[in-house]
Amino acid sequence: MDIKAAIQSATLPDHIAIIMDGNGRWAKEKGESRIVGHYEGVVSVRDIVEGCGELGIKYLTLYAFSTENWNRPKAEVDALMELMVSTIRLEAEQLKKNNVRLRLIGNMNDLPETCQKEMQEGMDITAGCTGLTLILALSYSAKWEIIEAAKRIAREVATGTLKEEDINDAYFSQCLTTADFPDPELLIRTSGEHRISNFLLYQIAYSELYFTDVPWPAFRKQELYEAILNYQQRERRFGMTSEQLNADEK
C-alpha cells in the first residue's frame, strides 16, 4: 500500500509537533555513544522537514532541547550544542532554497552565545521564506513558558494596562512564545514513551496524540505518513458529539 497516496490533502494538519525521543537508546543498542544517535537524528530531521514540505504542512515544531536536558552529562550537552551550531550553519542556505522559514521558541538566554548567534543568523537567512515554518524548541519548558506569560499579565494588570476581565484564552495565547503559530493538531512522540515531557502543555489541549515505538534516528517519511494517516482516520469533536459534527457537515 502506498501510504503517501492514501493521505488526503484536504484534511492535512496545519501544524505537527514532534517529541524527538530515542537518540541515545538507538545508539546504545548499536554499541555506539549517545552523540552518534544525535548525529543520526539530524538525518531524520532533514527527512521529516522535506516530507512535511512536500505534503504542504505549514508548521513543524521539533522538541530539540528541553530545560531539563541541561541536567545531562556535560560532555553530552556540549556535544549537542556544537551539533546544533554546526547543523544550522550548514543547513540555513538549504532551508532557504527549500523555502523553509526557521523560528525558535524557548529561553534563548540559556544557550551559549555561539549557539544564539548561529540560530539568529539562520532565522535571518530564512526570514523571507513562505513555505513550511520549522520551529525549534530549544531550552524550552512549557511550565517556564506559562509562568513567564502569567508574570507578563500580572505586570500589565498591576500597571493598569490590562483589565482582569480582558484576560481570556486568546489573550493568554498571545503571551506565549508560540503566539505567531497555530496550535498543533497532531503531536508525535517517538521511541515508545507515552508522556508529554513538559512540551507545549497549553497548546496541545485538543491535539491528537500519536505514539510510536520507532526511535527518532529511524523515523523517516514513511513513519510520518503513517502518523498523518492515523490522524486523518480520527474524529475530532472538540467536546461535541458525532451527531453534532455530522449535522454541521450537512
CA distance 65 to 140: 7
The vertex-128 CA angle with 105 and 142, nearest 5°, equals 10
200: left (phi over 0), alpha (psi -120 to 50) or beta: left
Asked about 69 being catalytic, the answer comes back as yes
For this structure, is 168 an active site residue?
no
Catalytic-labelled residue, pool 69, 98, 107, 230: 69
The cell numbers describing 74, all together, are: 556535560
CB 73 within 8 A of CB 31: no
**151 CB-contact burial (10 Å; exposed 0-12 / middle 13-18 / buried 19+):** exposed
Residues with a catalytic annotation lie at: 21, 69
